[in-house]
Every structure is written in C-alpha cells, then in structure tokens.
Amino acid sequence: MVLLFNVVLISCDKQKAKDDNINKEENKISVVKSYTYNQLKTFLNKNNNKTYVVNFWATWCAPCVKELPYFERIKKEYEDKNVEVLLVSLDFPKQVEKKLIPFINKRKLQSEVVLLDDVNENFWIKDIDSTWSGALPATLIYNKNNRKFYEKSFTYQSLENELKTILNP
C-alpha cells in the first residue's frame, strides 16, 4: 500500500520526489482513492484464497476512531494468514484533503484506506448488507466461503474472535 502511494506520489510529482528526501516521504500519503459503489463492490466480493476485513468508518466518528487500532493490529498479526484489511471512509468528500489525509498520516495507518463517495446510499447500504441500517461503525468480514456483517463496535478480542469464526468456521 505504502508502495502504491509512493508510485502515485512519484508519478504525480517527479520533480518534487527527486528534490525531497524520498525516505522522508515514504510513509506519508497525499492521495486517497475515491470510489463509487460500483467500483468499491469488487473489493467486497473477491473470490480468492484471502479473507477480507472491511471496516466502514469516518474520522469524525468517535467509536470508529477508537476501534481503528484493532483493525491495524489484525492487519499486522494476520498478514501471514492471508487476511487483508480495507478501511472504507465515509468522510465528507470535501474534507478528504483537510481531515482524512492528515488523519491517516498522523496515525500512520498501514491498512489501505479508500473513500466511498456515492450519493445513492439507499441502494448501496442495503446492497452491502440487508441488515445494515446505515449506522457507523460497521464491519464486513468475508472470504469465498463465509460472510458476516456487523453493525457494531469491536474490542480487539471480539474482532479477533469474529475473524476466527470466518477463518475456521
């Protein structure tokens, strides 16, 4: 992920990358990818050997921010078990530059963060999961065999327990 943003960064601003100390820039991001629901949907329905933990959150959502470290820890501790974490931000599109990007850099988030920018909430909330009322935070854990959705906050323990039920049903 860091690498990907590096590529974006370098290709966007070659001159700057040359001038600046690349190491200094390495952990900072300057772009968050923005997806419509149709584009995001691919990431919610992958059919491979990996297990995906997808968290819907926003920088202004206090319970979301509180549980972010647990998702980061899952990413770190389950990376070798084929688990990937995706953080789908529902921040206001106008606040990406001002709030979301500085937040990611300040917290040094390692999981991939994307923005879901799609007005037709009434369609995609239901499409992501029929039980979701739309409240944040919410989390989807899935692989090709199992799929569970949670409209709730997690502790590290409860998140890991749920992940385990998907990994070893």
Task: Specify the stretch interacting with another protein by CB under 8 A; choose among 7-15, 26-34, 58-66, 76-84.
Answer: 58-66
Give which of 120, 135, 113 is closest to 150, Cα–Cα. Answer: 135
Closest CA to 52 of 80, 86, 28: 86
Q: Which of 1, 13, 39, 134 binds another protein (CB under 8 A)?
A: 134
Q: Does 120 sit near another protein (CB under 8 A)?
A: yes
Of the residues 132, 139, 154, 166, which one makes contact with another protein according to CB under 8 A:
132
Contacting another protein within 137-156 (CB under 8 A): 137, 151, 153
Considering the complex, what minimum distance in angstroms separates the CB of residue 69 from another protein? Answer: 18
Residue whose CB is less far from another protein, 78 or 103: 103
Rounded Cα distance, 49 and 42, in Å: 15
Coil, strand or helix at 102? helix
Q: Which is nearer to another protein, 39 or 110 (CB)?
A: 39
Beta-carbon count within 10 A of 115 CB = 21
The closest of 127, 53, 126, 65 to 90, measured between CA atoms, is 65
Distance CA 150, CA 100 (A): 23
Question: With binding defined as CB under 8 A, does residue 42 bind another protein?
Answer: no
- Interface residues with another protein (CB under 8 A) are 58, 60-63, 90, 92-93, 119-122, 125-126, 131-137, 151, 153
